[in-house]
């Protein structure tokens, strides 16, 4: 595996276009999304709309009882470190954006991958876990470079979901893998940007969800925030969930939706 991402095949890269789109963002959003960008869009019209991250689902949703394989398992533990065995250290980071370039806080990211030998744990939750994006849409995963699963190129599975929105099921790929040329599921738009750091590797990838309006857009209260005035019926995100306002009020610290059932209920 080379230390640098494969050069673009031709023309403008999706990575470069996302960076160009973010140059025109207002300062608060630009500061929140200043990390290195990963594949995101092919063109950026005047309204700076991005292309959503492609789906890549190999039929591994709920496990059929008569089949074995690297299937998705619900109820994974919430954690940011999937270091359940030996392997080359991998630090993956990035952001979750909407198609208007706005970062999405409290987005669910559920990762699972093979161990160093290419085997999946279908009994327990080794190398499986979920987390939520931060207020700036960022996420960080500490894990290992997965081994090769028979018939596939090297990859990481992930489900990403903005609060109250459809789930994106996809996979992230490693640059320079020989099997990238033969795996029918491989999509170059899902290549991570990767570099060697000491004895391990750092990778970047930004997810773009097919969500029209990002947090802070008119009519969308976005993430709960102290000091914000909320009206009856407003929906916010907090702690990885969506909440609906029951009583008009101005939020203060200590009145978080998860601790004030008189003011909020799950949406």
The CA-atom distances, in angstroms, between 30 and each of 12, 19, 209, 234 are 21, 10, 18, 26
pLDDT of residue 135: 84
Q: Confidence band (pLDDT; 50, 70, 90) for 56?
A: low
Global pTM reads 0.63
What region does 118 belong to: left with phi over 0, alpha with psi -120 to 50, or beta?
left
pLDDT (0 to 100) of residue 70: 57
Helix (H, G, I), strand (E, B) or coil at 115: coil
Beta bridge partners of 128: 112
* C-alpha to C-alpha distance for 266 and 139, rounded to whole angstroms: 24
* Stretch(es) of the chain classified as CATH 2.60.130.10: 14-208
Predicted local confidence at residue 204, as pLDDT: 97
The pair of structure tokens assigned to 9 is 């095949």
**Interacting residues of 254 by C-beta distance below 8 A, sequence separation 6+:** none
185-211 residues labelled b (16+ CB within 10 A) or e (exposed)? ebbebbbbbbeeeeeebbbbbbbbbeb
Contacts of 75 (CB under 8 A, 6+ apart): none
Q: Per the CATH hierarchy, to which homologous superfamily does domain 229-266 belong?
A: Carbohydrate-binding module superfamily 5/12 (2.10.10.20)
Does residue 216 have a pLDDT over 50? no
Spatial distance between the Cα atoms of 262 and 264, rounded to a whole number of angstroms: 6
> Are 155 and 1 in contact, with CB atoms under 8 Å apart?
no
For 14-208, CATH number? 2.60.130.10
Q: Of 20-24, 30-34, 232-236, give the lowest mean pLDDT range.
A: 30-34
What confidence tens digit (pLDDT) does each residue in 148-202 have? 999 999 999 999 999 888 899 999 999 999 999 999 999 999 999 999 999 999 9
Is 219's pLDDT higher than 80? Answer: no
3 state SS of 23: helix
The answer on pLDDT for 63 being more than 70 is no
Q: How far apart are CA 9 and CA 253, in angstroms?
A: 50
pLDDT of 64 above 80: no
Query: Phi, psi at residue 188, to the nearest 5°?
Result: -60, -20
The answer to whether the beta carbons of residues 134 and 105 sit under 8 Å apart is yes
- Location of structure tokens 């991005």: 50
| pLDDT tens, position by position, 66-102 | 233 458 899 999 999 999 999 999 999 999 988 878 8
Mean pLDDT is highest, among 69-73, 211-215, 223-227, for 223-227
Q: What is the pLDDT of residue 217?
A: 43
CATH 2.10.10.20 residue ranges for the chain: 229-266
**Residue predicted with more confidence, 178 or 60:** 178
Cα(106)–Cα(198) distance, rounded to whole angstroms? 32
Min mean pLDDT across 14-18, 101-105, 208-212, 251-255 is at 14-18
């Amino acid at each position: 595996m080379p230390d640098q991402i494969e050069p673009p095949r031709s023309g403008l890269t999706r990575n470069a276009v996302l960076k160009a789109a973010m140059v025109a963002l207002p300062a608060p959003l630009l500061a929140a999304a200043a990390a290195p960008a990963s594949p995101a869009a092919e063109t950026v019209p005047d309204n700076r709309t991005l292309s959503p991250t492609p789906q890549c689902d190999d039929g591994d949703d709920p496990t059929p009882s008569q089949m074995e394989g690297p299937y998705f398992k619900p109820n994974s533990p919430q954690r940011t470190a999937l270091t359940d065995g030996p392997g080359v250290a991998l630090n993956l980071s990035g952001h979750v954006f909407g198609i208007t370039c706005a970062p999405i806080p409290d987005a669910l990211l559920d990762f699972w991958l093979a161990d160093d030998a290419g085997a999946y744990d279908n009994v327990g939750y080794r190398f499986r876990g979920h987390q939520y994006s931060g207020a700036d849409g960022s996420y960080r995963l500490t894990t290992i470079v997965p081994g090769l699963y028979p018939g596939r190129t090297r990859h990481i599975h992930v489900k990403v979901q903005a609060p109250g929105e459809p789930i994106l099921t996809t996979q992230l790929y490693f640059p320079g893998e020989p099997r990238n040329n033969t795996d029918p599921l491989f999509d170059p738009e899902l290549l991570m940007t990767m570099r060697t750091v000491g004895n391990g590797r750092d990778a970047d990838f930004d997810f773009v969800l097919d969500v029209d309006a990002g947090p802070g857009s008119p009519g969308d209260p976005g993430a709960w925030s102290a000091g914000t005035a909320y009206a009856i019926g407003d929906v916010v995100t907090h702690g990885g969930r969506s909440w609906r306002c029951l009583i008009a009020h101005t939020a203060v610290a200590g009145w978080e939706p998860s601790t004030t059932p008189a003011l909020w209920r799950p949406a």
